[in-house]
Amino acid sequence: MTRTGTRLRPDERTAELVSAARELLGEVGYERFLPAEVARRCGVSEATVYRYFPTRHALLVRVAQQWFDEILDALDPGVVVHDGTEEQLRYVVRYAVEVVRREPTLTRYILNELRPDPEFRATSIFRSNRRFTGIVSQVLRDAVARGDLRDDVGIDLLRDMVFGGIEHQAWAYLRGEGEFSTDRTTDGITTVIYRGMAAHPSHPSHPS
């Protein structure tokens, strides 16, 4: 819906532009994303958009940062309500899978456009991503400290196995070329990490 160019405070105008940009991004993808269309939807000139965001890239990065802020706010308190290593791990894996499913365009933009940038590690998006993946790392680290998981494989490697597995399972979906199962992906990754790293694995009994 086209909005009117009502006079707004700078923070209100910024929020309006980011909201319209996120809506547009979800509809057309980042390849066809145009600041001029954001301006039209907000009822302002294209020059107004560029006054707040000097480049198309800057606007898209702000949209991505808002998304990360939302998923971090929702995830941070969620882990502690789950008892036991397996359920905590399942929770954070499922959350990461559902994030991809809810925002495929933003996920693909970060993976394809932002992550390959040599300057990516100096950005706020990188720091937010580290916070996000760091929650999985903390679940794993706590499990090792409790003696639930072995300590002979690095936490960083286990974390990368979680997110690498999600990325590969979801890649066709992110390109709009197929589907994937949230349940199977969550259960499969959780099972591989938890049972594969269990400090005291249980073995099925065999008939004598």
pLDDT in tens, 174-191: 988 999 999 999 999 999
**Which among 41, 86, 45 is positioned nearest to 189, based on CA atoms?**
86
Q: Kindly report the backbone phi and psi dihedral angles of residue 149, in degrees, each rounded to the nearest multiple of 5, phi listed first.
A: -120, 150
Query: Is pLDDT larger for residue 202 or for residue 7?
Result: 7
Q: Kindly report the backbone phi and psi dihedral angles of residue 202, in degrees, each rounded to the nearest multiple of 5, phi listed first.
A: -90, 140
Report the predicted TM-score, pTM, of the whole model to 2 decimal places.
0.83
Q: What percentage of residues in the chain have a pLDDT greater than 70?
A: 90
- pLDDT tens column, 116-149: 999 999 999 999 999 999 999 999 999 999 999 9
pLDDT at 164 over 80: yes
Report d(CA 161, CA 16) in Å as an integer. 38
Domain boundaries, the chain: 10-54, 57-197
- pLDDT tens column, 26-47: 999 999 999 999 999 999 999 9
* Topology given in CATH for the domain delimited by 57-197: Tetracycline Repressor; domain 2 (1.10.357)
Top CATH class, 10-54: mainly alpha
pLDDT at 196 over 80: yes
Asked if residue 182 lies in contact with residue 94, where contact means CB atoms within 8 angstroms, the answer is yes
What are the CB-based long-range contacts (under 8 Å, 24+) for 18-27?
A: 18/59, 18/62, 18/63, 18/66, 21/59, 21/60, 21/62, 21/63, 22/63, 22/66, 22/67, 25/60, 25/63, 25/105, 25/106, 25/109, 26/103, 26/105
Q: Which two tokens stand for residue 126?
A: 């990188």
Give residue 84's region: left, alpha or beta (phi > 0; psi -120 to 50).
left
- pLDDT tens column, 76-92: 655 555 678 999 999 99
